[in-house]
Amino acid sequence: MINKIISIDEAADMVKEGMTIMVGGFLANGTPERIIDALVEKNVKNLTLICNDTGFPDKGVGKMVVNKQFKKIIASHVGTNPETANQMNSGETEVVLTPQGTLAEKVRCGGNGLGGFYTPTGIGTEAAEGKEIREINGKEYVFETPLRADVALLKASVADKKGNLIFNKTMKNFNPIMATAADLVIVEADKIVEIGEIDPEHVMCSGIFVDYIVGGDK
């Protein structure tokens, strides 16, 4: 069996300048904070971020926003991090605001090899500008394309050494679907257990999607 357990520093070193990264979490709940801290210290730049939000200035991916590590951010809202708005308004960082359900479905399509989907969400707003509009059964829909990333950085409550994951409560937000939609998947786990210790019925994300695991300190 391939050893999937690596150090935090090794995980951070896999994120290179110019990459697109997906980061799990909702207002930083379910975000791999230790990996984020290592990336802040490493100071890798010109990244594109795909995340539900940009956390807070001192929490989650918001710490990387404050450190000006993103050239582009694709998120559903940014209101809890004033620094994101500052960079967006100044033109320093491109921010693509995407409805939350649309964002999740774009990631799901990316993970399932689909070419996109039609949604009524965004019709008549800036979210539909420049996109294909199609009428289906008398109703207008906007076509949304899939999202994929070079690296997904996720957080799990428990991982076994094969990478099978359990997410505690709302930590399961974007983490499971992002695991399917990146070329490289790194999971920060609170606890790492032996193979077989997780009941197969309780697995929320299969280890087949997980390349590397860090953490296990709790």
Instruction: Please write the tens of the pLDDT for every residue from 124-159.
Output: 998 899 999 999 999 999 999 999 999 999 999 999
Please state, as a whole number, how many other Cβ atoms lie within 10 Å of the Cβ of residue 125: 10
Residues whose CB is less than 8 angstroms from the CB of residue 51 and which lie 6 or more positions away in sequence, other chains included: 22, 23, 24, 25, 61, 73, 74, 75, 174
Instruction: Please write the tens of the pLDDT for every residue from 67-115.
Output: 999 999 999 999 999 999 999 999 999 999 999 999 999 999 999 999 9
Q: Which CATH architecture has domain 8-116+146-215?
A: 3-Layer(aba) Sandwich (3.40)
Residue boundaries of the structural domains of the chain = 8-116+146-215
Mean pLDDT over 18-43 rounds to 97
Instruction: Tell me the backbone φ, ψ of residue 39, rounded to 5 degrees.
Output: -70, -35
- 14's tokens: 């896999």
> Binning pLDDT at 50, 70 and 90, where does residue 218 land?
low
Query: What is the spatial distance between Cα 100 and Cα 177, in angstroms, rounded to a whole number?
Result: 13
